[in-house]
């Protein structure tokens, strides 16, 4: 299995623990990722607020680069990148005037986007290409006893639900269960974390973070699992404000699903970026269980 | 003296043609079929902070009340979570309409000075045009410089955390084909002028 890999700016910055854990986990599963050469920022939500034509052009350059490299499957782990790249594909298909704008801009730098590349999310690849059975077989330290609130956030299923349900996504639930963890019922799984409002309008943004953490606390979760660098940053980075406004009880650690996979696979902890979070995650699975060859019954 | 504020809009407050103009933008066409059911306002996690609810913004836009919507807080509070868009029974892409309104407000500069959200959007786009990528920490510093030093200082604790966890990187991320990015974006501008 081979994919072009589009890390996006966050995975090289504040969200580097996501990349640090995702790469060894994918390698361990035999998934080959080739980083897109000289990729640029997807434009995120900020560019759409200034000029949607330019936003689509920026995203389309990456799609064109992926096609040029022959890698028609582009893996985008960041939710904002994933959504913007998908949105650009939809806009180019649905609106001829947008396609023309994109084509003209790409032609000015000798690039071409034909529309053949597909944008994939790691959860999609893990569930549909790798498969849960292959993942289960790699688990040497099951996350037994760990209660996780699965938090998907907005932009991987909205507005374009390609691999999971728009209102009640379950792919990460299944994945975490395959790792041996207990997934708690978490009705806020697709509620917004506030995005950049935590920084620009803290009264509103931090309150949204509190609502998410407090619900996880009420459901008895030991941690939250996330798929998005901005969600992780919001749920983890504002602990000082959260503590002073709402007390210690809501300070629940938030991990990337890939970090939890790495722990269950028994990969070296230093490779998983666990020390990048401000709210520490101290729980560890029990020592590896020896696999007793072919006689192990599959439940 | 009691301060009197008129709560109903007059016909003369309209800017004729504004609604039609917005509805001609890709992604905004469906606005004409809005039934004012209020589902968008109900599912929006930020409507409690808004001056006009999303439902009201839809009707004000369609009915040409340009000044009211472009000056509203609502368009800036939209965090692009798309909850309204997927729930709308008329398949109106409300989030995309909010984007369109933000674009117009930025173009016409009708937002309070030092208001952080449009400032962030501008700094973000400038950085992408210059470097091809975003260096998050530099972006955050610029935002605080251009809006509120005090708010920036209040986040000292976070700076310390980021340093401790090896995430406080101020080295600017740049791509090789920076010239290509600028040329592509200029091509879009040139087309608009024609």
Between positions 1 and 60 of B, the ones with CB within 8 A of A are: 26-27, 45-46, 49
In this prediction, residues A43-64 reach a mean pLDDT of 94
Assess whether pLDDT exceeds 80 at residue A293.
no
Nearest chain A Cα distance for residue B1, angstroms: 32
Angle formed at CA A111 by CA A110 and CA A114, multiple of 5 degrees: 140
> Who contacts B41 (Cβ-Cβ below 8 Å, separation ≥6)?
B47, B53, B54, B55, B56
> Quick check: helix, strand or coil at residue A254?
strand
> Which secondary structure element, helix H or strand E, spans residue A149, and what is its range?
strand A147-150
Name the residue among A40, A54, A57 with its Cβ closest to that of B133: A40
Residues A193-209 pLDDT 10s: 999 999 888 999 999 99
Q: Residue A122 in contact with residue A75, Cβ under 8 Å?
A: yes
Tokens of B15: 């800017």
H or E stretch at A177: helix A171-178
Q: Rounded CA gap, B147 and B102, in Å?
A: 18
CB A79 within 8 A of CB A231: yes
Q: List chain B residues with pLDDT less than 70.
A: 194
**Which one of A9, A192, A278 has the shortest CB-CB distance to B81?**
A192
Tens of pLDDT along A99-126? Answer: 999 999 999 999 999 998 899 999 999 9
Q: What is the pLDDT of residue A290?
A: 62
Query: How much is the pLDDT for A289?
Result: 60
Domain with CATH 1.20.1050.140 in chain A: 2-120
- Contact across the interface for A197 and B184, Cβ inside 8 Å: no
**pLDDT above 90: residue A229:** yes
Task: Tell whether A140 lies on the interface with B, counting CB pairs under 8 A.
Answer: no
- Are A17 and A256 in contact, with CB atoms under 8 Å apart? yes
Is-contact B127 B139, C-beta < 8 A?
yes
Distance from C-alpha of B154 to C-alpha of B91, rounded to nearest angstrom: 42
Comma-separated ranges of CATH 3.40.50.11810 domains in chain A? 140-276
Q: Which of A151-155, A163-167, A214-218, B120-124 has the lowest mean pLDDT?
A: B120-124
- Report the CATH fold assignment for A140-276: Rossmann fold (3.40.50)
Rounded Cα distance between A251 and A239, Å, is 7
User: Would you state the pLDDT for residue A292?
Assistant: 53
Find residue A5's DSSP bridge partners.
A35, A75
Residue A238's closest CA among A251, A229, A226? A251
Residue B51 DSSP class: S
Q: Is B79 exposed, middle or buried (0-12, 13-18, 19+ CB in 10 A)?
A: buried
- Would you state the structure tokens that stand for residue B29, as one six-digit string? 């066409």
What phi and psi, each to the nearest 5 degrees, are found at residue A160?
-105, 100
Place A33 in a pLDDT band, splitting at 50, 70 and 90. very high
Measure in Å the smallest separation between the Cα of B139 and chain A Cα atoms.
11
Q: For residue A46, give the nearest of B82, B125, B176 by CB distance.
A: B125
Rounded CA separation A286/A295 (Å): 22
pLDDT band, residue A296 (cuts 50/70/90): very low
Question: Domain A2-120 maps to which CATH number in 1.10.287.990, 1.20.1050.140, 1.10.3720.10, 2.40.50.140?
Answer: 1.20.1050.140
Spatial contact of A105 and A57, defined as CB atoms under 8 Å apart: yes
Length of chain B in terms of residues written: 194
Does B181 touch chain A if contact means CB atoms closer than 8 Å?
Answer: yes
Partners of A29 in the β-ladder: none
Q: Which residues contact B6 (CB under 8 A, 6 or more apart)?
A: none
> What pLDDT score does A288 carry?
74
- Residue among B49, B82, B158 whose CB faces A159 most closely: B82
CA distances from A34 to A76, A78, B188 (A): 12, 16, 30
Mean pLDDT of A52-67: 96
Q: Which domains does chain B have, with CATH numbers?
A: 15-107 (1.10.1060.10), 116-193 (no CATH)
Count how many Cα atoms sit within 13 Å of the Cα of residue A180 in the half-sphere of its side chain.
21
Q: Which helix (H) or strand (E) holds B150?
A: helix B149-154
> Could you give the angle at the alpha carbon of B78 between the alpha carbons of B77 and B82, nearest 5°?
160
Q: What was the pLDDT predicted at A297?
A: 45
> How many Å apart are CA B49 and CA A131, to the nearest integer?
43
Q: What is the pLDDT of residue B150?
A: 77
């Amino acid at each position: 299995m081979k994919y072009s890999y589009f890390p996006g700016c966050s995975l090289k910055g504040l969200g580097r623990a996501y990349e640090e854990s995702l790469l060894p986990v994918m390698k361990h599963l035999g998934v080959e990722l080739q980083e897109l050469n000289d990729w640029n920022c997807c434009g995120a939500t900020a560019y759409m607020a200034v000029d949607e034509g330019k936003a689509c052009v920026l995203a389309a350059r990456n799609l064109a680069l992926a096609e040029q490299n022959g890698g028609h499957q582009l893996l985008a782990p960041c939710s904002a990148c994933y959504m913007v790249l998908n949105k650009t594909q939809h806009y180019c298909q649905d609106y001829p005037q947008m396609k023309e704008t994109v084509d003209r801009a790409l032609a000015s730098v000798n690039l071409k986007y034909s529309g053949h590349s597909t944008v994939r999310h790691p959860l999609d690849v893990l569930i549909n290409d790798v498969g849960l059975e292959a993942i289960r077989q790699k688990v040497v330290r099951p996350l037994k006893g760990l209660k996780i609130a699965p938090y998907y956030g907005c932009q991987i299923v909205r507005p374009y639900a390609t691999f999971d349900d728009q209102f009640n996504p379950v792919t990460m639930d299944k994945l975490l269960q395959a790792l041996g963890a207990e997934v708690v019922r978490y009705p806020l799984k697709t509620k917004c974390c506030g995005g950049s409002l935590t920084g620009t309008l803290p009264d509103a943004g931090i309150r949204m973070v509190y609502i998410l953490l407090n619900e996880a606390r009420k459901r008895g979760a030991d941690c939250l699992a996330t798929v998005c660098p901005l969600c992780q940053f919001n749920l983890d980075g504002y602990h000082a404000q959260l503590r002073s406004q709402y007390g210690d009880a809501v300070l629940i650690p938030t991990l990337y699903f890939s970090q939890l996979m790495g722990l269950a696979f028994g990969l070296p902890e230093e490779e998983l970026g666990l020390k990048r979070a401000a709210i520490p995650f101290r729980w560890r699975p029990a020592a590896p269980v020896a696999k007793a060859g072919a006689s192990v019954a599959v439940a | 003296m009691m301060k009197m504020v008129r709560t109903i809009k007059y016909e003369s407050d309209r800017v004729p043609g504004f609604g039609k103009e917005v509805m001609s933008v890709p992604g905004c066409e469906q606005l004409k079929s809005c039934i004012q059911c209020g589902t968008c306002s109900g599912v929006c996690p930020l409507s409690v902070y808004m001056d006009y609810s999303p439902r009201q913004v839809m009707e004000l836009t369609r009915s040409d009340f340009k000044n009211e919507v472009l000056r509203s807080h609502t368009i800036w509070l939209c965090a692009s979570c798309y909850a309204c868009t997927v729930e709308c029974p008329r398949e109106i892409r409300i989030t995309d309409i909010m984007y369109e309104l933000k674009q117009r407000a930025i173009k016409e500069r009708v937002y309070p000075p030092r208001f952080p959200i449009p400032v962030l959007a501008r700094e973000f786009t400038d950085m992408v045009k210059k470097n091809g990528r975003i260096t998050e920490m530099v972006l955050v510093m610029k935002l605080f410089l251009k809006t509120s030093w005090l708010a920036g200082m209040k986040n000292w604790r976070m700076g310390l955390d980021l340093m401790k966890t090896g995430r406080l990187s101020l080295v600017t991320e740049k791509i090789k084909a920076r010239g290509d990015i600028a040329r592509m974006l200029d091509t879009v501008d040139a087309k608009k002028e024609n």
